């Protein structure tokens, strides 16, 4: 009796020791010393100084992206948002990043205007120990120079546009392309995706940049109409964003083109794009979602706490059509 009691007591003691060792090991694995996920020592949003050197204010998409960043910063109550507008100039963005490095911000979230030319400044951020999140468009720099990229799959957007033309032009045809900012990840990806998937019986007659703005798309479309007759020389238009699409519509209207005369596919899914579908001008609008604020700040907090993040975070997107554009228009946030 007494020997079985003492065996039970020894077994209990052993289980307690195993339990304690087990807990210790688990704690060490889940929260390494350099990654306080929560509790004492963990950094919170109220500690965060985040730098957002926005590339410009060229489109409704960009306005919505800026609003998403500013509103999320306010909602989360971060310590400071260092925001600037580079007016679509890479040199302005590089200066803004350097100023943020100088200030010693916690995280830089960079939406790069173009893909190339970032190596030097990203190396400076890395040497200063400041993690960088590439937001929206991609960069061609070595992946070791930044922590993660969050944004759309621009090549897939171009491929989705190609699929729309393939459906609408089963017997082939000719299209024009109104492209975004030359050298930008968005324009490069969309152009590549279109060419990847466009049926061989559909030809791209010409491609010109409108720099993602409504104002610049107007003279470009006017020049295209001087060279080519709608309907006769081309039957479709791929436009890299809704703002340029709206500029192009103004020109087409003035030239006597009617909604539906051309097959037009645009990108973004802004309210303006939805209105163009309601009015019969766009036959499809490939979504590109600018509301990245919540995910950007979540990634930034993880990085501030030394926690791992995925190397690439792609936005889940779709294609919108005129059939339900009127119904969805009032629900659009941008
Ligand atoms: O990089 C995203 C693109 O930039 C959007 O499609 C366009 O509207 C914006 O200017």
What pLDDT was estimated at residue 41? Answer: 86
Closest-lying ligand 1 atom to the alpha carbon of residue 290? 2
What pLDDT was estimated at residue 135? Answer: 99
| Whole-number Cα distances in Å, 315 to 54, 100, 157, 288 | 19, 27, 11, 8
Report whether CATH 3.30.70.2190 matches the domain 154-287: no
Q: Using CA of residue 19, residue 21, residue 26, residue 31, what is the dihedral sign?
A: positive
Mutate to test the pocket of ligand 1, among 112, 184, 188, 212 (most ligand atoms within 8 A of CB): 212
Q: Select from 158, 238, 152 the least CA-distant residue to 192.
A: 158
What is the CA(291)–ligand 1 centre distance, in A?
12
Range in 29-43, 213-227, 247-261, 282-296 the model is least confident about = 29-43
What is the CA(213)–ligand 1 centre distance, in A?
9
Q: Is the pLDDT of residue 8 over 80?
A: no
What pLDDT was estimated at residue 303? Answer: 98
Buried b / exposed e over 48-60, threshold 16 CB at 10 Å, is bbbbbbbbbebbb
Mean pLDDT to the nearest integer, 183-201? 98
DSSP 209-278: E-TT-HHHHHHHHHHHHHH--BTTTBSEEEESSHHHHHHHHHHHHHTT--TTSSEEEEEE--HHHHHHHH
Domain map (residue ranges) of the chain: 3-152+290-318, 154-287
Would you identify the CATH topology of the domain 3-152+290-318? Rossmann fold (3.40.50)
Report the chain's mean pLDDT, rounded to a whole number. 91
Query: pLDDT by residue (tens digit) across 90-147?
Result: 999 999 999 999 999 999 999 999 999 999 999 999 999 999 999 999 999 999 999 9
Q: Is the pLDDT of residue 67 over 50?
A: yes
What pLDDT was estimated at residue 9? Answer: 39
Residues with CB under 6 A from ligand 1: 58-59, 61-62, 136-137, 186, 212, 241, 243, 267-268, 288
What pLDDT was estimated at residue 131? Answer: 98
What is the CA(301)–ligand 1 centre distance, in A?
26
Query: pLDDT by residue (tens digit) across 15-64?
Result: 333 332 222 222 222 333 344 456 678 999 999 999 999 999 999 999 99
Task: List the alpha helices (DSSP H) in 77-184.
Answer: 90-103, 119-127, 154-168
What pLDDT was estimated at residue 4? Answer: 40
What is the CA(190)–ligand 1 centre distance, in A?
11
Do 3-152+290-318 and 154-287 agree at the fold level?
A: yes
Closest-lying ligand 1 atom to the alpha carbon of residue 58? 10
What pLDDT was estimated at residue 2? Answer: 38
Q: Is the pLDDT of residue 3 over 70?
A: no
- Does this model's pTM top 0.85? My answer is yes
At 170, the pLDDT band (50, 70, 90 cuts) reads very high
Q: What are phi and psi of 270, to 5 degrees?
A: -80, 175
Count the Cβ atoms, other than its own, within 10 Å of residue 331. Answer: 7
Question: Do the Cβ atoms of 90 and 311 come closer than 8 Å?
Answer: no
Mean pLDDT to the nearest integer, 158-166? 99
What pLDDT was estimated at residue 26? Answer: 25
């Amino acid at each position: 009796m007494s020997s079985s009691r003492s065996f039970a007591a020894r077994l209990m003691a052993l289980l307690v020791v195993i339990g304690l060792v087990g807990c210790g090991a688990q704690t060490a694995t889940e929260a390494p010393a350099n990654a306080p996920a929560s509790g004492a020592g963990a950094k919170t949003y109220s500690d965060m100084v985040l730098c957002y050197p926005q590339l410009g204010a060229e489109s409704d998409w960009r306005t919505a992206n800026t609003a998403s960043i500013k509103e999320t910063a306010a909602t989360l109550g971060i310590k400071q948002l260092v925001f600037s507008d580079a007016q679509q100039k890479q040199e302005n963005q590089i200066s803004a990043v350097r100023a943020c490095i100088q200030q010693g911000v916690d995280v830089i979230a960079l939406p790069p205007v173009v893909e190339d030319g970032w190596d030097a400044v990203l190396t400076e951020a890395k040497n200063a120990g400041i993690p960088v999140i590439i937001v929206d468009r991609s960069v061609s720099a070595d992946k070791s120079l930044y922590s993660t990229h969050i944004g759309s799959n621009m090549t897939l957007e171009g491929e989705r546009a190609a699929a729309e033309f393939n459906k609408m032009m089963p017997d082939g045809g000719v299209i024009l392309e109104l492209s975004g900012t030359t050298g930008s990840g968005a324009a490069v990806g969309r152009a590549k995706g279109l060419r990847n998937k466009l049926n061989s019986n559909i030809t791209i007659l010409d491609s010109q940049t409108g720099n993602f703005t409504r104002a610049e798309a107007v003279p470009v479309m006017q020049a295209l109409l001087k060279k080519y007759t709608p309907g006769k020389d081309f039957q479709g238009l791929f436009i890299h964003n809704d703002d340029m699409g709206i500029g192009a519509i103004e020109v087409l209207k003035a030239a006597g083109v009617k909604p539906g005369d051309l097959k037009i596919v645009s990108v973004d899914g802004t309210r303006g794009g939805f209105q163009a579908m309601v009015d019969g001008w766009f036959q499809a609008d490939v979504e590109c979602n600018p509301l990245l604020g919540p995910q950007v700040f979540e990634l930034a907090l993880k990085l501030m706490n030394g926690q791992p993040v995925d190397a690439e975070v792609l936005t889940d997107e779709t294609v919108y059509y005129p059939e339900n554009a009127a119904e969805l228009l009032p629900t659009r946030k941008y």
